[in-house]
Structure formats: C-alpha cells, structure tokens
C-alpha cells in the first residue's frame, strides 16, 4: 500500500457563526484517485481552499508529503507538490497559451526537492510537451484570454500539470461541458495516474465521478458523511438523503 500523501485532520473553517467545514478528515494516498462530491454549498471548494492555503483554516492540521503545511503560504504549498485548477478558469489572459505554462514551470517545478532547474529555454520545450498531451499544441501561440471554454479548462489542467505536482486538485473542471468534452477531460485526468500523480476530483457529474474514482468522499453541510468505494458510497443511505432529501 502506498504511503499517505495528504492528511487533513479535524479541519474546521467558520465564517462568523457559519461552519463551512466542521472537523473534516481527509486522506489521499500517493497516486490515488479520489472523487470529492457533495451538494452545492457543502464545503468542497472551501476544503480545497484550506488545503491549498487560499483560505486559512481555523482548527485542525493539514500535512502534505510529511510536512505540516498549515502555516505555509499558498506558493510554498504549490512548491511542495500541490496543484489545483480553478472552477472558473483563471488564465493569465495577456500571455500566450505556452507562456501560461512557463510560469509554474519556472516557479514551481524547479522548486521541488531534487528537481533540475528549468531554464527559460527549456521551459518552452517542456510546456510544449504538456500542451501536446492535452491537445492544445496548435494554440500554443494564441492569447489565452481568447480561448473557448473547453480549451480554457484544458489550459487550467495543463498549467496545474506544469508545476509537476504530486497531488492535483481538479475543481469542477467539467461543469458545463458537453458529454464528449467531459470524456476528453476524464481521459486527461486518468493519464495523471501513469505519472504517479494523485488526483482529487471535485465534480457534480456522477458519471465522471464513478468512472474516474477509486474512492469517493462525500461532504454535506461542512461534514464528511461518507468515504469509501464508489459503489459503497452510492448505496449509503446518508448520501442518498443528502442528495435526494428524506
């Protein structure tokens, strides 16, 4: 069994009296594919924000790859090997597609322990390799602000991959996409497995979650209500209640 990569224990985040996360535990093993689901407003994105450091959690600890990262700034966590894509794409709009990838290549990929330094010239080659993989090769020189929605989602994933993460968190990369586009993205995420990258996939599209995940965790109103194999979770009465009501 592979070692534990991410260990969030007792993570609590409240905004005033509202508890967005209430003592949530979450573990991800090296190379594991985890689906994270839950109704709207259940705290999925808040949990991601607490893991990546965009928000500071109020209680609990987050350990990643053996380090306690609870007090680390976001860029420090990214440099340790965390990466995320955003629900609403946030491209570096003034840059070309390939330059978008050069930022994490220069700032994050080089920072990993033992990683070779990426030079300006090498960063271009490496960026092109990743773009080829996600199928954005022909748009490399286009301005990223003018991409279509699907391409922007792919760019989000490509940019996250460019930081050479050990754990990639994909936050609703497929919302609003057509069925064949969803398959494209799933294929991309499945490829991460070959690179030994663990993935947390946040998604509402159950078809994608069931196909992709080895394990599924369910959040409801800031609490984790289920954690297990996809089949177990779908059969869980608490989960059915959370989604369908009594």
Partner 1 sequence: MSNRRFAITAFVVAIALIGASLAIENAYFFTAAYGVLVFVILATAWNILGGYTGYVNFGTPAFFAIGAYTTVFLYNAFQAPLIVDIVCGTAVAGLAGLAVGYLTLRLRGVFFAIATLALAVVMLTFVVNWEYVGGARGAYVITRGDAPFGFASWKHYLYVVIAVLATVAIVVARLLERSKIGRGLAAIRDDELAAECAGVPTLRLKLLSAATSCGLMGMAGTTYPYFYAYTEPLSIFSLSYAVNAIAMPMIGGMTSWVGPLIGALLLGTLQQLVQVTIASDLNLLITGLLLVLFVTLAPNGILGWFDAWKRRRKR
Residues 13, 33, 57, 84: which binds partner 1 (CB under 8 A)? 84
What is the rounded CA–CA span in Å between residue 6 and residue 170? 15
Among 44, 57, 79, 154, interactor with partner 1 by CB under 8 A: 79
Asked if 92 interacts with partner 1 (CB under 8 A), we say yes
Binding-site residue total for partner 1 (CB under 8 A)?
29
- Contact between 166 and partner 1 by CB under 8 A: the answer reads no
Give the residue from 155, 216, 200, 148 showing the smallest Cα distance to 177. Answer: 148
Q: What radius of gyration do the chain's Cα atoms show?
A: 18
**Which residue's CB is nearer to partner 1, number 134 or number 233?**
134
Q: 3-state DSSP helix/strand/coil percent for the chain, to nearest 5?
A: 40, 25, 30
Q: Which is nearer to partner 1, 94 or 187 (CB)?
A: 94
Q: Would you say 201 or 216 has its CB closer to partner 1?
A: 201
Q: How far is the CB of 24 from partner 1 (least distance, A)?
A: 21
Length of the chain: 246
Instruction: Name the minimum Å distance from CB 14 to partner 1.
Output: 22
Instruction: Select from 93, 159, 91 the least CA-distant residue to 130.
Output: 159
DSSP H or E run through 18: strand 18-29
**CA distances (Å), origin 219, targets 23, 47, 57, 162:** 11, 10, 17, 29
Give the per-residue contact string, 120-159, with partner 1 (x = CB under 8 A; - = no): x--------------------------------------x
Q: How far is the CB of 120 from partner 1 (least distance, A)?
A: 7
Closest to 155 in 3D by CA, of 133, 123, 176: 133
Sign of CA dihedral 28, 87, 238, 19: positive
Binding window for partner 1 (CB under 8 A); candidates: 14-22, 58-66, 88-96, 127-135: 88-96
- The residue ranges that bind partner 1 (CB under 8 A) are 52, 54, 73-75, 78-79, 83-84, 86, 90-95, 99, 102-104, 106-109, 111, 120, 159, 162-163
């Amino acid at each position: 069994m592979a070692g534990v990569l991410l260990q969030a224990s007792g993570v609590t985040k409240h905004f005033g009296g509202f508890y967005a996360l209430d003592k949530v535990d979450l573990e991800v093993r090296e190379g594991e594919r985890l689906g994270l689901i839950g109704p709207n407003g259940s705290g999925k994105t808040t949990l991601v924000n607490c893991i990546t450091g965009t928000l500071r959690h109020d209680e609990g600890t987050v350990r990643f790859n053996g380090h306690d990262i609870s007090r680390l700034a976001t860029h420090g966590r990214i440099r340790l090997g965390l990466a995320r894509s955003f629900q609403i794409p946030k491209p570096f709009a003034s840059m070309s597609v390939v330059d978008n990838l050069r930022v994490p290549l220069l700032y994050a990929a080089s920072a990993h322990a033992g990683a070779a330094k990426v030079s300006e010239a090498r960063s271009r080659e490496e960026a092109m390799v990743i773009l080829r993989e996600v199928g954005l090769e022909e748009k490399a020189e286009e301005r990223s602000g003018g991409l279509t929605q699907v391409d922007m989602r792919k760019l989000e994933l490509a940019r996250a991959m460019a930081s050479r993460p050990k754990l990639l968190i994909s936050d609703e990369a497929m919302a609003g996409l057509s069925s064949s586009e969803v398959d494209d993205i799933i294929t991309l995420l499945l490829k991460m497995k070959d690179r030994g990258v663990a993935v947390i996939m946040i998604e509402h599209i159950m078809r994608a979650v069931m196909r992709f995940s080895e394990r599924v965790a369910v959040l409801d109103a800031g609490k984790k209500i289920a954690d297990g194999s996809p089949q177990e979770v779908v059969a869980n009465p608490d989960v059915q209640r959370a989604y369908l009501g009594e």
